[in-house]
Amino acid sequence: MRIIDLTTAGLWVAVIGLFLPGCGPRPDPSAGELVVYSTRGERFVQPLLDKFESETGTRVRALHAGGATIVNRLKAESRRPRADVIISNDVGALEHLRLRGLLRGFEPEGIESIEARYRALDNSWFALSARTRVLMFNRDLIGREEMPRSVRELADPKWKGRFAITRGGNSSMIAHVSALRREWGDEKTIDWLAAVNENAGAIMRGHGEIRRAVGAGEFAFGLVNNYYFHQQLREPRNNNVDAIYPDQEEGMMGAVVNAAGAGLIRGAPNEKDAESFLEWILLPENQREFSYASLEVPVNPRIEAVGEAAHISDYRVHDMPLSALGGVWEDTRLLIERSGLALELR
């Protein structure tokens, strides 16, 4: 059973049903079981889980939900964990969970393929695919030379009404603001958020809405993760778009990078199956599938980037370690709220 939105009572009943004995198909008694909580898009994750089930005979039960929902659920279940593995679209959330003792480290086979800066100190979580914050623009409305060169410029009134951003509670927005806090300090970051909130032509629920709106010419540009640009290029229409990797000039902070990955839940009821899955997903072909399904960039340097995507070593990247995101995850949400940018859309 797959749960996308946990906001209604009826779906909470569905969630409870997911974990009640006798619900769903009976497992093969000779096979193991794996319970996965995922904050990543279901269409990207479920095929990989189905592949693991097919190849290993291990039954997989998945709960797909938003980042805050999954994090809060894991905290609530900490004394009696119900899940084995978390797949997260935001390694900041994974480190946040590790710092609270909710993930367990181990030494999975194949972990050396992931650079140390893209995994936890104890390997309790590791990144698999990276995404970079870019300014995607509609080439019918604005030229590359006219585009802002830095995200700082979005606070300039000259751009009022011409771009779109996501709600403040989006995991990529939280990670981006965390990097800005490190670079600028909290007060300047709050001022920037307030100005961007005022200037934005629209604040949207997700990046998919932004890329479609920019492609359709509703806005000149939008702040998105780079793979949304790649997705829009593949649309049969409204695909006359391009992207700027911001803050690339000398003295600028570099583009902000976040990543998606997986972690081992401490006290996992199906611990051996969880470890087996994490070693399985580290196999090169599965790392590739994890990244390519969403058009992200593999963090493993031995795996080529998809299509027209730039390799992560081809541009200036902000120097904030991804593991540092976890320590400021909650504080950044509060800071975004203080700025006036809504965490959620009502």
Given a cut of 90, whether residue 232 has pLDDT beyond it is yes
β-strands 241-244, 125-138 pairing? antiparallel
d(CA 288, CA 51): 13
pLDDT at 267: 97
φ/ψ region of 267 (left if φ > 0, alpha if ψ in -120 to 50, else beta) reads left
Given a cut of 80, whether residue 215 has pLDDT beyond it is yes
Here the CATH number for the domain that contains residue 109 is: 3.40.190.10
Q: Which of residues 312 and 289 earns the better pLDDT score?
A: 289
**pLDDT average, residue stretch 48-60:** 97
d(CA 299, CA 312): 8
Token pair in block for residue 138 = 């509609």
d(CA 222, CA 213): 9
Considering the domain architecture, whether residues 208 and 69 belong to the same structural domain is answered as: no
Question: C-alpha distances in angstroms, 141 versus 176, 206, 215, 247?
Answer: 26, 22, 10, 22
Considering the domain architecture, whether residues 138 and 202 belong to the same structural domain is answered as: yes
Is 345 a member of any domain?
no
Nearest of 187, 175, 70, 168 to residue 131 by alpha carbon: 175
Given a cut of 80, whether residue 11 has pLDDT beyond it is no
Strand partners, 265: 103
How far is the first Cα of the chain from the last one, in angstroms, to the nearest whole number?
Answer: 27
Considering the domain architecture, whether residues 94 and 196 belong to the same structural domain is answered as: no
| Residue with the two structure tokens 């939280």 | 174
SS3 of residue 274 by DSSP: helix
Q: Which of residues 330 and 179 earns the better pLDDT score?
A: 179
Query: For 21-30, how does the pLDDT look when each residue is reduced to its tens digit (9 = 90+)?
Result: 334 333 444 4
Given a cut of 50, whether residue 199 has pLDDT beyond it is yes
Considering the domain architecture, whether residues 245 and 264 belong to the same structural domain is answered as: no
Considering the domain architecture, whether residues 162 and 241 belong to the same structural domain is answered as: yes
**pLDDT average, residue stretch 125-137:** 95
Considering the domain architecture, whether residues 334 and 208 belong to the same structural domain is answered as: yes
Considering the domain architecture, whether residues 74 and 180 belong to the same structural domain is answered as: no
Considering the domain architecture, whether residues 126 and 47 belong to the same structural domain is answered as: yes
Q: How confident is the model at residue 18 (pLDDT cuts 50, 70, 90)?
A: very low
For residue 304, count CB atoms less than 10 angstroms from its CB and return exposed for 0-12, middle for 13-18, buried for 19 or more.
middle
pLDDT at 269: 96
